[in-house]
Structure 1
């Protein structure tokens, strides 16, 4: 300030005036408090005492899952088992994809959840409006399809995760009467979940899975997609990062959680935890990618996962999507594109934070 004494920086005057012993005592108490909060959770996970509740939310730790064999004709169950061997851990969440009137869970999917040595739970992704549209589903025009699934899933009689039309942002047609408006998605979701509940399908735990892309988050209709806390059990996110510096979405695990709408606004994790506090978050698809023919080590992405999970307690499950060639035909999202990357991923998979038992 002109002609006067510059004000102290925040905390500077306190540190000058406070008695050092008092300050150290207070600091020790704070550190002890933090340790007491973190240590029991880590210890419980390491001891294998973390279990899931009626909504498949773990009491501690983070559920570990996988989706392997994408964009190929290979059997998903076989690829899932191969991926487990490669990664070194049973992927408790087995992610599969279906559409329309396809009968599921399939015999192979059911068999995957009956192995006592490798306990697994299904994450069923269903594009229910296939061959129709969201508005028609909401009006009841696909009730036969919903009811058939309700009977199958009740007969299965195990808890399942169900995603209705993952990444709906990418399917929105923002034109009045299209049947694919954001509000139509929310109405479809509400109708389907309420009808399943009315039919006694109490073993269905639903996941609202967003794409979480900053382009879509900036759209005026993005907020209209959310169907309501009363019909959403988990909030999901499908998000990826590039390992090629300077390429689209380059970054680490934290970057895929924090993408913000173009023009400003909350990042995805902050949005979910503030606007829908208390909802468990599932990273329903994630991975690091490089362009095919431009092999780059993915270790930095895998090494960044645990530090981010410890800072973000709302994340209760992560599911890696593994493929050598994505739907765009130019990206490798596999864990073994380099030896170093595979070693880093296996180290990640071995972390005791993922020691969660199905309740």
Structure 2
């Protein structure tokens, strides 16, 4: 074996030091704040990077640009929700074809009684170039579905849906579901890319067991449950979550004040609203502004967080679906704080067919609307969901 001379020994030593530095750099660059996916990914108040022009330090002190925000400044994402969600992407493909547009997000529902964490579902969505948004629902959805299949009248269906004492909000706060919550926190942390959680949506209604007016819940229970869930995720290091607080739009003067259910800006990244043009309860035509404007005004009285229309759709029972779609997207120009719109692409039993794919006229109207540059961009797992409008 050749003996090292001093000059050659010095070169080898220097090379070893450079190799060690390179390995340290690779290990460090696996963190979210350095622009690559990793288990410590962050968004919202916990994220390590804020602002579109922010820079992060690289090993050795040289800066690099922070990752792009989702959606980019001046853009609005288009999302889709289908009946099968990521279990079967056929309806998503049909929606994209009808819209002539690749959606940048997908919302799907998971009920706590039958929904263990399944990484496959998230990977299918992200693999199709969409941000996964999970509607995380603390209930057992099966009794209500069974009542519908049996053809029971609406009051009996409602009772089957909301009379679920196991899922009272106080039980969540008490810790009855902590093991389940931690399993999800650990699973989402391991994804290494951003997801959004829409926890216990439409809490200002009466049709879910987590609404404060039913199922033995009391005033203040919803906020306490939200904070409990969020605290467990923080403790687990699951900081790659964008938390979406999403009430239903105000439907009449009996609707509870939305501020009553708001957990606070330190707990919420996006605020959302559900609202549909439907002729089920009223035959009159209701524009986007008629459905959403009052609720948006109420929300803006207590938070400036980015807003997402987390569910919307239109009935075509009077032949006005295409008209409503065109008018809605024109109206959105007046709401620069709306950063996303999720279309409910479902033919729902006992309601109506909300899909744009069901109507050539609706599909054309939707395709023309989302061809606007405001909606044309690509989601990437390297993007950071924006949590403030000034970002």
On whether the aligned pair clears a TM of 0.5, the verdict is: yes
- Compute the TM-score of the two structures, normalised by the length of structure 2: 0.67
Structure 1 counterpart of 2:182: 147
User: Against the structure 1 CA distance between its residues 79 and 245, is the aligned structure 2 distance closer, same or farther, given a 3 Å change threshold?
Assistant: closer
Structure 2 counterpart of 1:289: 315
For 1:1-359, list aligned pairs within 5 A. Answer: 53=69, 56-69=70-83, 75-100=87-112, 102-115=115-128, 119-130=129-140, 131-170=166-205, 171=208, 172-174=211-213, 179-215=216-252, 218-220=254-256, 222-242=258-278, 247-248=282-283, 250-258=285-293, 267-277=294-304, 279-290=305-316, 294=317, 296-326=319-349, 329-358=350-379, 359=383
Deviations 1:95-142 (A, max 9, x none): 110011512344143123124xxx211010111355422111112221
Structure 1 residues without counterparts, runs of 5 or longer? 1-50, 259-266
Q: CA deviation at 1:67?
A: 0.6
Q: CA deviation at 1:322?
A: 1.2
Structure 2 counterpart of 1:11: none
Q: Is the 8 A contact 1:241 1:255 kept in 2?
A: no
User: Against the structure 1 CA distance between its residues 250 and 97, is the aligned structure 2 distance closer, same or farther, given a 3 Å change threshold?
Assistant: same
- SS of alignment partner, residue 218 of structure 1: coil
Structure 2 residues without counterparts, runs of 5 or longer? 1-66, 141-165, 384-391
Q: Is the 8 A contact 2:201 2:246 kept in 1?
A: yes
User: Against the structure 1 CA distance between its residues 184 and 246, is the aligned structure 2 distance closer, same or farther, given a 3 Å change threshold?
Assistant: closer
Structure 1 counterpart of 2:23: none
CA distance in 2, matches of 1:111, 1:336: 22
Q: CA deviation at 1:356?
A: 3.3
Q: Is the 8 A contact 1:182 1:222 kept in 2?
A: no
Q: CA deviation at 1:86?
A: 2.0
Structure 2 counterpart of 1:15: none
Structure 1 counterpart of 2:44: none
CA distance in 1, matches of 2:370, 2:347: 19
CA distance in 1, matches of 2:251, 2:125: 36
CA distance in 2, matches of 1:128, 1:52: 33
- Compute the TM-score of the two structures, normalised by the length of structure 1: 0.72
CA distance in 2, matches of 1:342, 1:316: 22
Q: CA deviation at 1:300?
A: 1.4
User: Against the structure 1 CA distance between its residues 182 and 90, is the aligned structure 2 distance closer, same or farther, given a 3 Å change threshold?
Assistant: farther
Q: Is the 8 A contact 1:253 1:305 kept in 2?
A: yes
Q: Is the 8 A contact 1:295 1:337 kept in 2?
A: no
CA distance in 2, matches of 1:106, 1:192: 20
Q: Is the 8 A contact 2:307 2:337 kept in 1?
A: yes
CA distance in 2, matches of 1:88, 1:201: 35
User: Against the structure 1 CA distance between its residues 246 and 126, is the aligned structure 2 distance closer, same or farther, given a 3 Å change threshold?
Assistant: closer
Q: CA deviation at 1:150?
A: 0.6
CA distance in 1, matches of 2:135, 2:200: 7
RMSD: 2.5
CA distance in 2, matches of 1:163, 1:188: 13
User: Against the structure 1 CA distance between its residues 249 and 104, is the aligned structure 2 distance closer, same or farther, given a 3 Å change threshold?
Assistant: farther
Q: Is the 8 A contact 2:314 2:321 kept in 1?
A: yes
